Structure 1
Amino acid sequence: MTNETPVDDSVNTPVSSVTEQPWTGLPRMRALGDVDPAAQQTVIDLLDRAMRTMPRMRSGPGGPFAFTLRGQGAFPAGTSVRYAAIVALGALHLPEDQQREVLAGDTVHELVGSLVSRLDDAGPTALSSLGDVALICWAAAETRHDGLKTAVDRLARADHDGGVHTVDAAWVVSALAAVREAGGGPGSEDHLERARLRLLQGLSEKELYAHTVGEGGKRLVPGYRAHVGCFADQVYPIQALARLGDDQAVAAAEAVAERICAAQGEGGQWWWHYDARTGGVVEGYPVYSVHQHAMAPMALLDLADAGGKSHLDAIARGMRWLTDPPETGQSLLPADAPVMTWRKVARKDPRKAVRGVRAATTRLRSGWRIGSLDRVFPPVAVDRECRPYELGWLLHTWLVPTTRE
């Protein structure tokens, strides 16, 4: 982590070409506008905000991306390779001049090149996370980068047999599906088939995904919450299975999508923790802005493009939560801070106590809730942070030039 330091106020100057971008002409934007024009307008507002926020998140050409912007002054803190890769996946849909404006002078191709170069680093700074390697490989495939073979080889070495976190497993599938679209590489098809089977088997005899998949995966989490899967554990597999495109994968993705849509809150909330055995909600909070404007739409729209059901009504409900969350009555799109959106609405519970208690009680008996926790720890806290991946997934979701075949 780095110390928090102010950013030059000059980055608050609007990106010159934002107002020239025909956001409403994009296929997904048109589809949303047909269902809910107000939700479409919220996405337009978010895209404009993202273009103005992103330059604050990088110190200069070739520099690292901040882990977060924090507080009313949007002070940068920490760094993140993972978030940089997600930004690349989103910004690749921008014209080159806009890429340079939002990436502190670099193009996406140059950003991806710097990330691929990290894959062969050794020593204490070497990338050890399977998820990080998968995201870099995915970005290299989407951009047809010269370093793609390096990324594919590094992903094969990083992806060991055995249990892995569900999010990482999904990113491996999405990366290798993109590699396939880019023309493939030696061994990548076999790797993709193994990754596909692992992801499909992770749903075996369950309604939703738990936090891990693969043999021995339960050892990666405490036993009292081995049955719990978070929202990310659902949406990234939906996206990955949809991108595979075969009937079995799309059917599995649709089953998960139906469950999370059925559980969506009355205010449009995409809830956080689920009981993978039953599909029920274990604990709803925090509710994250990125889930509402990007991650849920990203997965559900990819599923629709693969032939699944359209969930545009649920997507529109989720968008409406951002501007009028019933928990606080305070929009998550701040008018008085130089960020795209605030990160989440949460409980003020010490050490995430509510989530821990509800994981333990539902482990013993599905659906068991101690209702007094809602009264003692109401969800009224707004987390005043904004992280780069929130912007990256927003661009990745809404700026695809055409629907997938």
Structure 2
Amino acid sequence: MKSYFVWIIGFCLLSSPIIAQSSDSLKISISDAEQQFVKNNLTLLAQKYNIEASKAAIIQAKLLPNPEINIEQTLNTTPTIANDAMIGAFGQRAFQVQQLIQLAGKRNKQVNIAKINAEITDYQFFEILRGLSYQLRTSFYAIHFLQKTLTTYEQEIVTLARLISAYQEQVLKGNVPQKEVIRLQSFLVTLETERSSILMDIADNQATFKVLIGDVSAKPIEPIVDEKVLGDMDLDNLKLADLTNTATDGRFDRKMQEATVRLASANLALQKSLATPDITVGYSYDRAGSYLNNYHALTVSMSLPIFNKNQGNIKIAENEILANKQYLAQTDVQITNDVLQALLKAKEAERLYRTLDKNYLPSFNKLIDGVIENYQKRNVTLIEFTDFLESYKNTVSQINSLNNTRIQAFENLNFVVGKKVL
């Protein structure tokens, strides 16, 4: 009987392939991914057009109002006399040219508003870049560690599937009890279900990643990761006060909010200037329709600021300044707490990572080889064997999850600081 078990396990181990990444996968490092992201991401490209549009708004704000011209020509073809002078057919004509002159520096104030809007558009670009870059990096590392876990599942699934196939032949011969095959089949179903969940997580992350880098191929992503570099990362030189100051000075969402305060102030200055009426000056000529022929006149017009002095819009602008100052203060509070929370999470993830014995997993791999050998010799039962496979699978999954959590915490810290500090 023992010879049957030795043959079965030996067959499963020798025939189990090493699970490898597909040869047609897209192998990519994080640096290459970021280059493709900046070059190909459609959201960033669209935002660049918004930047150009905001610059064009500055040009528009600098332009002077166009002069207006009015021309009058009679349709009467009958010669007539005007002011004791004969006027021939189509003799009466008049025209007027007018130019609006903006007072109180309205045009300069409009240019200032356009410049601040352009500045905000720039900040919006870099804020979008910060958020999308964070998604890119977190998806990249999530794919890497999920694929490592998937490899373990696929190795166990292949081994179990071959083992079950071999056992079923021995059941028919009466050498193996049916209950052992059922136990293996139950464990295989569990593995297949969990593998499917991992594949879905990988698919979600790959979809996000491929959209970000603008890749439309059907090739799966295979991240190229130097885990030694990841393992050498540490938080020893990072101080909360320094990180908070860096975030407050450098985060573009705060710069946007600060610029919004300046925009509200610029709008208040504009609204106050609008209380001053503009002047329209012009020249008027009338050949025969006035008290004398060839009439020339200078025209000046303006509205009288008696009822409407733009009081409502000025009040609105004043309150917008107060509101935006509060939003800015709230942003500062949010940044301070974001950095504190991110640093605490990163430190906890790092602490847990450092408590892990780096030789634990290699030792575990050797141990499972010993368990298989003992199972061949019938020194362990099938239940003990499957329990150890379950423990091995869970251990690999937890270690990969721990490593991923650590890197995700580091990336989150980079994100909230607004700068790569790790």
* Category of TM-score, reference length = shorter chain: under 0.3
TM-score by length of 1: 0.18
Higher RCO, 1 vs 2 (CA within 8 Å, ≥6 residues apart): 2
The structure carrying a bigger helix percent of its residues is 2
